[in-house]
A and B are shown apart, each in its own frame.
Chain A
Amino acid sequence: DIQMTQSPSSLSASVGDRVTITCQASQDISNYLNWYQQKPGKAPKLLIYDASNLETGVPSRFSGSGSGTDFTFTISSLQPEDIATYYCQQYDNLLWTTFGQGTKLEIK
């Protein structure tokens, strides 16, 4: 099974800061990596698919990069509404998937 190591587990930043979250796969997963945002009490929402593609309607301050085993999710300028937990998700085939442990993002 492919394991995903997401870091940090929690993060505190100020409005306007650049925020970066990383996800490392235990083996090469090409670009088969997605990022989700889950606000408190809500279902997760797809933000980035295939490592770097922005889902329709998602603000451009969100971005993703990476391939192989190392991936990065970035918020270029943190906004108050970005307070949430963020998860990476790998799929080594179209039907099989595992999530990272999550990163809880708070405003400083």
Chain B
Amino acid sequence: EVQLVQSGAEVKKPGESLKISCKGSGYSFTSYWIGWVRQMPGKGLEWMGIIYPGDSDTRYSPSFQGQVTISADKSISTAYLQWSSLKASDTAMYYCVRHASGSSDYWGQGTLVTVSS
């Protein structure tokens, strides 16, 4: 069974750093792209970027370029999304997705990030 299991909810202060994770199982982790999607409170879905764990090829949406870093460790089948300096506006639910042939066929359960002083 394909599963993407994300790390737990985080509460951080503005200016702090954060790295959240997404562990894939039940499929060949290095053969599919992993994407990240943001959903701000009460809002819609925003595509942030994508990584191919096989060779770490990474692409960012222009809106998120320079704001976050996407990485992966194929030895442990885990992708990451990280911030060096969080802002209150980063408060959101973040989903990782397995992306294949243009569609996101499996989703993680989401990681809620709350940034508040």
Contact = CB atoms under 8 A, between A and B. Distances in A.
Interface in A50-100: 50, 55, 87, 89, 91, 94-100
Contacts of A49: 101-103, 105
Nearest to A101: B44
Contacts of B110: 43
Given A34-B104, A44-B95, A98-B47, 7 more contacts: A36-B104, A43-B110, A44-B104, A44-B107, A46-B104, A95-B99, A102-B44
Closest 6 CB pairs of A and B: A91-B102, A43-B107, A99-B45, A49-B103, A102-B44, A34-B103
30 contacts: A32-B102, A34-B102, A43-B95, A43-B107, A44-B45, A44-B95, A44-B107, A45-B107, A46-B103, A46-B105, A49-B101, A49-B102, A49-B103, A50-B102, A55-B105, A87-B44, A89-B104, A91-B102, A94-B102, A95-B33, A95-B50, A95-B59, A95-B99, A96-B47, A98-B47, A99-B45, A100-B44, A101-B44, A102-B44, A102-B45
